Chains A and B, each alone.
Chain A
Amino acid sequence: GAVVSQHPSRVICKSGTSVKIECRSLDFQATTMFWYRQFPKQSLMLMATSNEGSKATYEQGVEKDKFLINHASLTLSTLTVTSAHPEDSSFYICSARNAAAGQGAGDVLTFGAGSRLTVL
């Protein structure tokens, strides 16, 4: 089945540094990927939609200059948390939509295992 790999699974950084999280679709092409953030005991909050070859679409309230998204290929999207601060500590999860499967396969999403960011 479809697999999405997310790396790193855990990262600890100092305040003020930038952190990059990678999301790869391993066995399918994904023209669209989604980035979510999840705080403890809360649900997933959609941050942005990542489109291959174009600019990401951010949800209301999400700072695009803070959370840089790049979707340079059909199998890779990256999220960079710039100048991270302790309040950015969270569980970041990506998901990908199989472009080839499309509506016929139900348009389901495959999620990565998540990346836990801790900013000291």
Chain B
Amino acid sequence: DAKTTQPPSMDCAEGRAANLPCNHSTISGNEYVYWYRQIHSQGPQYIIHGLKNNETNEMASLIITEDRKSSTLILPHATLRDTAVYYCIVRVITNAGKSTFGDGTTLTVKP
């Protein structure tokens, strides 16, 4: 799996968009970008994933740069319940799901 780099922490005002960056400069052509989050004392929750095109679902949007060396997870209207640790994971889809977690970004949404 390609190594990822994320800022250790970020703050965001409630109701504003939260933009969480992830650097994966060594990503290979067949590796996908996955985002999970972990709310305190719970198991991680899948958010979104993508290969090279931008993706959007009911939870978030994923913007992947054209060279695929970095990506941004966007929570369009952050709420207090979005306070969590967000993990960016890069891996091949044929790895049977095996995922290695880095340190992630602690997002704190403030009122």
Contact = CB atoms under 8 A, between A and B. Distances in A.
Contact of A106 (B43, B49, B95): B49
A119 interface: no
B97 A97 contact: yes
Interface in B30-77: 32, 34, 36, 38, 41-46, 49
Given A43-B101, A112-B43, A97 B32 contact: no
A43 B42 CA distance: 12
Q: Chain B contact residues (Cβ within 8 angstroms of A): what range?
A: 20 to 34
Given A32-B97, A34-B99, A43 B104 contact: yes
A78 interface: no
Interface of A: 4, 6, 32, 34, 36, 43-46, 49, 91, 93, 95, 97, 103, 106-114, 116
